[in-house]
Each structure stands twice: as structure tokens, then as C-alpha cells.
Amino acid sequence: MSIQGVAYVIYQRTQQTRLALLPHLVFLMLTIVFAIIVWLLADLSGEWALVASFVLLLALVGIGLSVFITLAMIYLIKQRKNQPIKK
């Protein structure tokens, strides 16, 4: 299941946007910890430091897009609930 899927399930059960964004925060923290571990284990001027930098940069961009998609999904869910029922 994707992060958006987990966020959707959390939002459907709790109706709280901040709580639905929690999986994104967890994934961001895991990525930052991974990048820090690679930086600490690697030579700071070596290729692994560059790899850690790219991993961190790509993770930030990817998680940012994922948060945007999740917020758009929550917005559309709220808009759909506010529409009158058509017969």
C-alpha cells in the first residue's frame, strides 16, 4: 500500500488532515536518518556523501509531491461530501 493509501485510510477513520499526513512525516524522518547514517559512515568528501545528498534531495522532493497529492485528495474528498445528492 502506498503512502497515499495509508493517508486515505487514516483520514477516512479520523477525519483529521494532520493525522493523515503522519505517514509522510515518518517516511521523511526515516530518509533523514538514513542520509545521516550514510554521511557518518562515509568519508565526507567521498562519493557516498554525494549519494546521501542526492537521496536526501530526491526524498524531499518526492515527499513534498506526495504531501501535495494527499492534500489534494483530502480536498476532493471534502468537496465530494459537501455536494448535494443528485437523484
Residue 51: which of 26, 71, 34 has the closest Cα? Answer: 34
CB 4 within 8 A of CB 69: yes
Q: Residue 32: in which H helix or E strand, if any?
A: helix 22-41
pLDDT of 40 strictly over 70: yes
Asked if residue 86 belongs to a domain, the reply is: no
Give the chain's domain count: 1
Asked if residue 41 belongs to a domain, the reply is: yes
Residue 49 C-alpha cell reads as: 556523501
Grid cell 537521496 is found at: 55
pLDDT of 50 strictly over 70: yes
Asked if residue 37 belongs to a domain, the reply is: yes
Asked if residue 87 belongs to a domain, the reply is: no
Using N-to-C axis directions, what is the helix angle for 22-41 and 47-82, rounded to 10°?
A: 180
* % of the chain beyond a pLDDT of 70: 93
pTM score of the predicted model: 0.74
Q: Which domain holds residue 10?
A: 3-81
**pLDDT mean over 3-29:** 87
pLDDT of 42 strictly over 80: no
